[in-house]
C-alpha cells in the first residue's frame, strides 16, 4: 500500500468544521521538510521530541499562515516514525496551500488509513486496535465509543495473545515429540493437561464468538420492529420516538406498505426503529408483500414491540396471537397498549387480564399525546440487554473477527476430537497451528497484504 521510505502528509481534521485544522506529516524526512518552510524562534531540526514551536509557514518570501508546530521523534509518535503536526487556521485555501508546499518539498499525499497502517507496521498497535480507531472515529453514541475504546486499549488483544501463548507451549511440546519419534513413543505433552486446556480455550473462543450478536448490535444499532394490526398507531409512535414526521399517518387502513426505518439514541445506545406494514387478512397483493416484509423484519430484529390498539383488543387478540406470538417466541417482546387516553381504568384492567399469560414488559402509551412513550423507550433499553455491556471486558463487534473466531472454533474442535481418539502428533500439531494462525489473524500476527489493504482502505485520509 505504501513505500516506507516515503514521507506522507494529509489534513487530519474534517474540512470546514472548525477554526483550526491539523496537518500531519510522517516519515524519515518529516522534520527536515517542515523545517524548510517554518520560520520561528528555533529550528525544528534542533527541537526535542514532544515539543512545539510557534511561528509561520513561509514559501517564496510569502507568509502563508501563523501556526503551531508539534514535533514527535521516532519511535515516540503515533506512527512510530518522525512526525510533525501543523496546527493552522481552518481555511480550505490555507490547508490546500500547505499541502501543496509540503509536496513541493518532498512529501506525497497519504492514502486512506496510511498513518494508522504505519503505526501497525511499526508495532505501535496490533490490527484489532487499528480497526478500533476507525470504529472510534465513526462512533455516534456512548456505547459505540466505549466498546471501541476498550478494543483500542487492547482488551481483546490481551485475551487472544494469552490463548495463543498457551497453545504455542503445547504445540512446541507436541512437535518436539515428533523430533524424537525415531526413539520410540516419547510423550512430552501431557495429554490430560492438553484436554483440559483445549476445553478451556474452546469455551473462551465460544464466549468471544457469542458476544458478536450484542457487539454488532451496539456498533450498528439495536434493531427494533414495531408490529401490530392496521391503524394500531405504529407510524405515529415511530414519529414520536424520532421526533419527526418520518412516517405517513392516516386513518385509512393499510397506509404503511413497506418498512420505514430511523435511528434513535436511548441511554447512550443506538436503536434502529422500523415501522412495518399493519397485520391483517387482506387480498391486496401489494399490502400482502408489505406484511411478508413485516414477518421478515421480525426475524432480524433484536426487540419486537407489539403495538396494540387498546380499543380493539378483543377482535384482534386471537388473530394476532395465532399469527404473531409464535414468531416472536425467541425475540425480546414488549407489549405497547396504545390509545390509552381513550380508556377508563376498568377497561385497562380487563385488557391486562386478557394478556396475563404474556410474561413480557407491558407499557400503556398514547402515541398521539406522547404519554408513556418515554417509559416505553426505557423498557425497550432494559429488555434489550444492552445495559449489561459495561460488565463485559471484551465484545466482538467486527464481522471479520467473528468469522475468524468461528474458524478457530472448528480447528479447536478437531484438536479435542483428536485428543479423545488418540491421533498422531503430526495431525494434532497441524490443527493446533491452524488455531494459532486463526487467532493471529485478528491481531495481525498472521495477515496478508490483501487483508491489510481492505481494512485500511476503509479509513478516512489523515488517519
Which residues, in sequence order, are bridge partners of residue 22?
Answer: 87
pLDDT, residue 259, reads 60
SS3 of 22-79: the string is EEEEECCCHHHHHHHHEEECCCHHHCCCCEEEEEEEEECCEEEEEEEEEEECCCCCCC
Outline where 182-330 has alpha helix (H).
191-210, 212-220, 234-242, 285-300, 313-323
Residue 18 CB neighbours (<10 A) = 11
**CATH architecture for segment(s) 8-125:** 2-Layer Sandwich (3.30)
Pick the closest to residue 175 from 191, 188, 190 (CA basis): 188
Half-sphere exposure at residue 431, Cβ-oriented, CA atoms within 13 angstroms? 17
Q: Which three cell numbers stand for residue 133?
A: 480507531
Q: Above 90 in pLDDT, residue 134?
A: no
Q: What is the pLDDT of residues 404-419, one digit of tens each?
A: 999 999 998 998 888 8
Q: SS3 for 247?
A: coil
Across 268-283, average pLDDT: 72
Cis (ω within 30 of 0) for the bond into 75? yes
Half-sphere exposure at residue 333, Cβ-oriented, CA atoms within 13 angstroms? 22
pLDDT, residue 184, reads 47
| CA–CA dist 36, 84 (Å, integer) | 13
| CA–CA dist 11, 17 (Å, integer) | 13
Q: Above 60 in pLDDT, residue 299?
A: yes
Q: Which three cell numbers stand for residue 55?
A: 511561528
Q: Above 90 in pLDDT, residue 9?
A: yes
At 84, the pLDDT band (50, 70, 90 cuts) reads very high
| CA–CA dist 97, 88 (Å, integer) | 11
Q: How do the domains of the chain map onto residue ranges?
A: 8-125, 136-211+395-444, 217-390
Contact 367, 237 (CB under 8 A): yes
Percent of the chain with pLDDT over 70: 81
Q: What does the CA dihedral 284, 285, 289, 291 come to, rounded to 10 degrees?
A: 20
| CA–CA dist 208, 188 (Å, integer) | 30
| CA–CA dist 375, 364 (Å, integer) | 9
Q: Is the dihedral of CA 457, 221, 294, 329 positive or negative?
A: positive
Instruction: Look up cell 376498568; give the residue.
Output: 346
As a whole number of Å, the end-to-end CA separation of the chain is: 14
pLDDT, residue 253, reads 44
CA angle 63, 65, 67 (to 5 degrees): 125
Q: What are phi and psi of 256, to 5 degrees?
A: -80, 115
338 vs 189: which has the higher pLDDT: 338
Q: Which three cell numbers stand for residue 79?
A: 506512527
At 316, the pLDDT band (50, 70, 90 cuts) reads low
Q: Which three cell numbers stand for residue 169?
A: 507451549
pLDDT, residue 85, reads 96
Q: SS3 for 337?
A: strand
Q: Which three cell numbers stand for residue 67?
A: 501556526
CA-based diameter of the chain, in Å? 89
Ordered strands of the 20-26 beta sheet: 38-40, 51-59, 62-72, 83-89, 20-26, 8-11, 108-109
pLDDT, residue 1, reads 44
| CA–CA dist 323, 178 (Å, integer) | 62
pLDDT, residue 379, reads 92
Across 173-197, average pLDDT: 65
Contact 279, 324 (CB under 8 A): yes
Residue 433, classified by CB atoms within 10 Å of its CB into exposed (0-12), middle (13-18) or buried (19+), is middle
What class, spelled out in words, does domain 217-390 have in CATH?
alpha beta
Q: What is the pLDDT of residues 233-264, one digit of tens each?
A: 888 888 888 775 544 444 434 444 456 778 88
Q: Which three cell numbers stand for residue 217?
A: 448490535
What class, spelled out in words, does domain 136-211+395-444 have in CATH?
mainly alpha
Q: What is the mean pLDDT of the chain?
A: 81
Q: Above 50 in pLDDT, residue 271?
A: yes
Contact 39, 56 (CB under 8 A): yes
Out of 101-110, 311-320, 354-363, give the one with best mean pLDDT: 101-110
Residue 428 CB neighbours (<10 A) = 25
Amino acid at each position: 500500500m505504501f513505500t516506507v521510505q516515503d514521507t506522507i502528509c494529509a489534513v487530519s481534521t474534517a474540512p470546514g468544521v472548525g477554526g483550526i485544522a491539523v496537518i500531519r506529516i510522517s516519515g524519515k524526512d518529516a522534520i527536515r521538510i517542515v523545517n524548510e518552510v517554518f520560520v520561528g524562534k528555533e529550528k525544528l531540526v534542533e527541537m526535542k521530541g514532544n515539543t512545539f514551536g510557534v511561528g509561520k509557514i513561509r514559501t517564496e518570501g510569502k507568509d502563508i499562515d501563523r501556526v503551531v508546530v508539534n514535533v514527535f521523534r521516532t519511535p515516540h509518535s503515533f506512527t512510530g516514525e518522525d512526525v510533525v503536526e501543523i496546527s493552522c487556521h481552518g481555511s480550505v485555501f490555507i490547508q490546500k496551500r500547505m499541502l501543496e508546499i509540503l509536496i513541493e518539498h518532498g512529501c506525497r499525499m497519504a492514502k486512506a488509513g496510511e498513518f494508522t497502517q504505519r503505526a501497525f507496521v511499526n508495532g505501535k498497535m496490533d490490527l484489532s486496535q487499528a480497526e478500533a480507531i476507525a470504529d472510534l472515529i465513526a462512533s455516534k453514541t456512548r456505547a459505540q465509543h466505549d466498546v471501541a475504546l476498550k478494543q483500542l486499549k487492547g482488551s481483546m488483544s490481551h485475551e487472544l495473545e494469552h490463548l495463543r501463548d498457551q497453545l504455542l507451549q503445547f504445540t512446541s511440546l507436541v512437535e518436539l515429540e515428533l523430533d524424537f519419534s525415531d526413539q520410540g513413543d516419547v510423550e512430552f505433552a501431557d495429554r490430560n493437561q492438553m484436554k483440559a486446556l483445549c476445553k478451556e480455550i474452546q469455551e473462551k473462543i465460544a464466549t468471544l464468538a457469542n458476544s458478536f450478536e450484542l457487539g454488532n448490535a451496539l456498533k450498528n444499532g439495536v434493531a427494533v420492529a414495531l408490529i401490530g394490526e392496521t391503524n394500531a398507531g405504529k407510524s405515529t409512535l415511530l414519529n414520536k420516538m424520532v421526533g419527526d414526521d418520518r412516517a405517513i399517518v392516516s386513518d385509512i387502513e393499510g397506509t404503511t406498505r413497506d418498512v420505514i426505518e430511523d435511528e434513535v439514541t436511548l441511554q447512550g445506545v443506538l436503536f434502529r426503529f422500523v415501522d412495518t406494514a399493519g397485520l391483517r387478512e387482506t387480498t391486496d397483493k401489494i399490502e400482502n408483500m408489505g406484511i411478508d416484509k413485516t414477518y421478515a423484519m421480525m426475524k432480524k430484529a433484536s426487540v419486537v414491540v407489539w403495538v396494540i390498539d387498546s380499543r380493539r383488543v378483543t377482535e384482534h387478540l386471537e388473530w394476532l396471537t395465532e399469527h404473531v406470538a409464535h414468531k416472536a417466541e425467541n425475540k425480546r417482546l414488549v407489549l405497547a397498549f396504545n390509545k390509552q387516553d381513550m380508556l377508563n381504568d376498568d377497561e385497562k384492567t380487563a385488557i391486562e387480564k386478557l394478556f396475563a399469560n404474556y410474561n413480557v414488559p407491558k407499557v400503556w402509551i398514547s402515541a398521539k399525546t406522547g404519554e408513556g412513550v418515554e417509559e416505553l423507550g426505557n423498557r425497550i433499553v432494559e429488555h434489550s440487554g444492552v445495559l449489561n455491556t459495561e460488565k463485559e471486558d471484551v465484545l466482538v463487534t467486527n464481522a471479520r473477527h467473528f468469522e475468524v473466531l468461528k474458524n478457530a472454533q472448528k480447528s479447536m474442535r478437531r484438536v479435542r476430537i483428536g485428543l479423545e481418539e488418540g491421533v498422531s502428533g503430526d495431525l494434532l500439531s497441524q490443527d493446533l497451528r491452524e488455531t494459532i494462525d486463526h487467532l493471529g489473524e485478528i491481531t495481525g500476527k498472521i495477515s496478508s497484504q490483501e487483508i491489510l489493504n481492505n481494512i485500511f482502505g476503509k479509513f478516512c485520509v489523515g488517519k
